[in-house]
Amino acid sequence: MNFSRLSSGLLLLALLGGGLAGPARAASTADWEGCSAIPADAERLACYDRVSGRSQLETAPRVEAEPAPQPAAAPPLAQLPEPKLLSALSRHWELDDEAKQGAFLFQPHRPNYFLPVKYSNAPNDSPFRNTFAQPGLGLENIETELQLSFKIKAMQGVFGHDNADLWFGYTATSFWQAYNHSISSPFRENNYEPEAMLVYRTNYELAGFRGRFINFGLSHQSNGRGEGLSRSWNRAYAQFGLERGNLALLVRPWIRIHENRGSDDNPDIEDYMGHGDLLVVYSKGRNAYSLLLRNNFKSPDNRGALKLNWSFPLIGRLKGYVQYFNGYGESLIDYNHRQQSLGLGVSLAEGM
Collapsing DSSP to helix, strand or coil, 10 comes out as helix
147 has a pLDDT exceeding 90: yes
What local confidence, expressed as pLDDT, does residue 347 receive? 95
Confidence grade of residue 344 (pLDDT, cut at 50, 70, 90): very high
Residues 6+ apart with CB under 8 A from 294: 273, 274, 276, 277, 278, 304, 305, 327, 329
Ranges of H-type helices in 53-141: 88-93
Share above pLDDT 90 across residues of the chain, in percent, rounded to a whole number: 65
* Helices then strands, each counted (H, E), the chain: 5, 13
Q: What is the dihedral of CA 266, 270, 276, 280, to 10 degrees?
A: -80
DSSP annotation of 159: T
What local confidence, expressed as pLDDT, does residue 35 receive? 67
**Burial (Cβ within 10 Å: 0-12, 13-18, ≥19) of residue 80:** exposed
Q: What is the pTM for the complete model shown?
A: 0.75
What local confidence, expressed as pLDDT, does residue 93 receive? 96
Collapsing DSSP to helix, strand or coil, 50 comes out as helix
pLDDT tens sequence across 87-99: 999 999 999 999 9
**Burial (Cβ within 10 Å: 0-12, 13-18, ≥19) of residue 44:** middle
Q: Which of 127-131, 169-173, 302-306 is the least confident region?
A: 127-131
Strands 338-349 and 318-328: antiparallel
Q: H or E stretch including 253?
A: strand 247-257
Q: Which of 222, 230, 275, 283 is catalytic?
A: 222
Collapsing DSSP to helix, strand or coil, 53 comes out as coil
Q: Which of 47-56, 197-206, 309-318 is the least confident region?
A: 47-56
Q: Which of 36, 52, 220, 275 is catalytic?
A: 220
109 is catalytic: no
CB atoms within 10 A of CB 75: 6
Confidence grade of residue 192 (pLDDT, cut at 50, 70, 90): very high
Q: Specify the higher pLDDT residue, 199 or 35.
A: 199
